[in-house]
Amino acid sequence: MILVRAIEYLGTVVKGPVEEVGRIIMLFYSTLKWLARPPFEIKNTSKQMLEVGVNSLPVVLITAVFTGMVLALQSYTGFKRFGAEGLVGTVVALSMTRELGPVLTALIVTGRAGASMAAELGTMRVTEQIDALETLATNPVKYLIVPRFLSGLIMLPFLTVVSNIVGIIGGYFVSVFLLGANVTTYMRTTWDYLEFQDIYSGLVKACFFGASLSIICCYKGFYTEGGAEGVGKATMRAVVISFMTILISDYFLSAWLFE
């Protein structure tokens, strides 16, 4: 009897999240289906790419440069204890390209553009603008979600590349100008140990994060219920679920890409 109750309880706890994951996958499938169908939403997609990519650039730049700087500072003081300060360049380059570049960029874009996607679509839902699109014979997945999905998928790798470069420059600045590292040694240890796979796997992560955060944020906004409060909750949940997805999937992607 206790076992039955425990299973029932487990079922009620698991049912909601499983249903939600199912609905997100359905929306993803629908997005891919409408993505392939002409006419292509070029104007809308460009607008979203500007919003997700170009407008996120200042925040990404500032975050990346200071991440690179603090990484150099911390690894220098740590490595100095056993005389390995010459490897600071390697640590900064590998950490930025493999891990911090894609993850931090994805978290920033989620907080900035992802939250905006969820709030905008949520407001459109509760003010019947999405219904209005349908009455005007326009598929809302094609018109609203496909451009946002594409912008996440394309702009996240672009921002990650920028983040990697700026982070490495930040590390170089701190190491060479503030900590007095040798320029030649620093440059050599940066480039000699950096492999194409490090950059490539970071970009694969960025594509996955971009696609995930845009679909999750669009999903939460698109299916918003219940007025202003509903929009607030949907936005908050979109950000939380995206953060969790990025951080959890990062581990599994790393295990797969660097095995």
Partner 1 sequence: MIKLRDIHKYFGTKHVLRGVNLTIKKGESVVVIGGSGSGKSVLLKHIIGLLRPDKGTVIVDDHELPGLDEEHLNEVRKKFGMLFQSSALFDSMRVWENVGFGLIRHTRLTLSDIKEIAVQKLKMVGLVNVEDIMPSELSGGMRKRVGLARAIAMEPEILLYDEPTTGLDPIMADAINNLIVDMREKLNVTSIAITHDMKSAYKIADRIAMLYNGVIIGTGSSDEIRNTSDPVIKQFVTGSASGPIVLEGIRHED
Q: Of 161 and 231, which has the nearer Cβ to partner 1?
A: 231
Residue of the chain from 45, 116, 139, 254 that contacts partner 1 (CB under 8 A): 139
Q: How far is the CB of 123 from partner 1 (least distance, A)?
A: 8
Biggest CA–CA distance in the chain, Å, is 72
Q: How far apart are CA 67 and CA 3, in angstroms?
A: 50
Q: How far apart are CA 72 and CA 67, in angstroms?
A: 9
Q: Of 132 and 178, which has the nearer Cβ to partner 1?
A: 132
Count of positions on this chain that bind partner 1 (CB under 8 A): 11
Q: How far is the CB of 238 from partner 1 (least distance, A)?
A: 19
Q: Of 66 and 223, which has the nearer Cβ to partner 1?
A: 223
Told to check if 46 binds partner 1 by CB under 8 A, we report no
Please say whether the beta carbons of 163 and 60 come within 8 A: yes
How many Cα atoms are found within 13 Å in the side-chain-facing hemisphere of 192?
10
Q: Of 135 and 184, which has the nearer Cβ to partner 1?
A: 135
Range 108-137, binding partner 1 (CB under 8 A): 127-129, 131-132, 134-137
Q: How far apart are CA 163 and CA 125, in angstroms?
A: 34
Q: How far is the CB of 136 from partner 1 (least distance, A)?
A: 5
Residue of the chain from 46, 74, 77, 138 that contacts partner 1 (CB under 8 A): 138
Please say whether the beta carbons of 85 and 79 come within 8 A: yes
Q: How far is the CB of 143 from partner 1 (least distance, A)?
A: 8
Q: Of 2 and 137, which has the nearer Cβ to partner 1?
A: 137
DSSP 137: T
Distance set, CA 103 to CA 12, 30, 90, 165 (Å): 33, 27, 19, 15
Q: Of 77 and 138, which has the nearer Cβ to partner 1?
A: 138
Show the binding pattern over residues 179-218: x = contacts partner 1 (CB under 8 A), - = does not: ----------------------------------------
Q: How far is the CB of 156 from partner 1 (least distance, A)?
A: 23
- 138 backbone dihedrals φ, ψ, rounded to 5°: -120, 125
DSSP 67: H
Q: How far apart are CA 243 and CA 114, in angstroms?
A: 10
Q: Determine the distance from the C-alpha atom of residue 45 to the mean position of all C-alpha atoms in its chain, rounded to a whole number.
A: 18
Contact residues for partner 1 (CB under 8 A)? 127-129, 131-132, 134-139
